[in-house]
Structure 1
């Protein structure tokens, strides 16, 4: 999905000044094959980003008034066609500052989620990515966006409390 309309409206007034935005990272795990048998190694849903060619978890920006868990599931469905359900918050962190090729600047607060795969076969659902698929968590494709490796590890640590950097 392209830049949300509310951000485009803000940009009319603020230009390229830095915006502080809430975002979500949706780490969708598949632990069972289609027949219901447990996989030897969990698989994670990844997209290959159109902007830099890196593989990463699905991520996106919350819409005003949107619940973060709902946003995570929405982003997964929009970007990959996969239906997934939020299981838990795995961490809250500073995603860092980003400057886009057009000069727009943003800083993101990221709420990371573990999501459970429900159904669907991954496909490229928008212009933000060029590929999508499930991969064994111990054999991630390259090049890989390193900040997402930590978020995948958080999701794999079932039952652990949410992480907060101190």
Structure 2
């Protein structure tokens, strides 16, 4: 699985130590309201499409680029729906990363959904009622995107047991 050049260069200095990175993902819906999901090659889990925001890149542009490069579709980012912090990921090569995740709601605007690179093994369109098994983190991203809220949601530190989630303010 290829990593961006800037990250490969950074890894020369920090090795496999945990890095704080920014990622952008999208809950992409088709005209018939099905969701585009991708099965990751590294861990076999289903997830929404997206990836690392490259230096100087706008996060919405990351979503457009990642969907085109990884799953072959054109996507229109509609709104930012969630700002979240990922758990720490440890990749098969030992690299560790923690992500500031920016999750968008997006619309399919063209192209045929298909595996485009070695980062995934399978892709598919799924009805929200018949999604494959997803971890709680992915599920929260999808549920938030489909909730219909206009403002982006964010979560508070999991260390604060009294307040684990903050919904967007009501207009």
User: What TM-score do you get using the length of structure 2 for normalisation?
Assistant: 0.86
Alignment partners' CA distance in 2, 1:158 and 1:70: 22
- Please give the secondary structure, in 1, of the residue aligned with 2:87: strand
Alignment partners' CA distance in 2, 1:90 and 1:73: 16
Alignment partners' CA distance in 2, 1:25 and 1:149: 13
Residue 125 of structure 1: which of 116, 130, 139 is its match? 116
Aligned to 1:90: 81
Alignment partners' CA distance in 2, 1:101 and 1:132: 21
Gaps of 5+ in 2: 157-171
Aligned to 2:140: 150
Deviating runs (4+, > 4 A) in structure 1?
A: none
Alignment partners' CA distance in 2, 1:146 and 1:25: 16
Matched, 1:52 2:43: yes
Alignment partners' CA distance in 2, 1:151 and 1:18: 23
Q: Which moved more, 1:151-160 or 1:64-73?
A: 151-160
Alignment partners' CA distance in 2, 1:111 and 1:122: 22
Give the total of aligned pairs.
156
Q: Kindly state the Cα deviation for residue 162 of structure 1 after the two structures are TM-superposed.
A: 0.6
1:10-39 deviation line (CA, Å, top 9, x unaligned): 111111111110011211111x2xxxxxx3
User: What TM-score do you get using the length of structure 1 for normalisation?
Assistant: 0.89
Alignment partners' CA distance in 2, 1:29 and 1:134: 9
Mapping for residues 10-159 of structure 1, pairs under 5 Å: 10-30=10-30, 32=31, 39=32, 42-142=33-133, 144-159=134-149
Cα 1:59–1:145 change in 2 (3 A) is: farther
* RMSD of aligned Cα (Å): 1.3
Asked if structure 1 preserves the Cα contact closer than 8 Å seen for 2:50 and 2:62, the reply is no
Q: Kindly state the Cα deviation for residue 159 of structure 1 after the two structures are TM-superposed.
A: 4.2
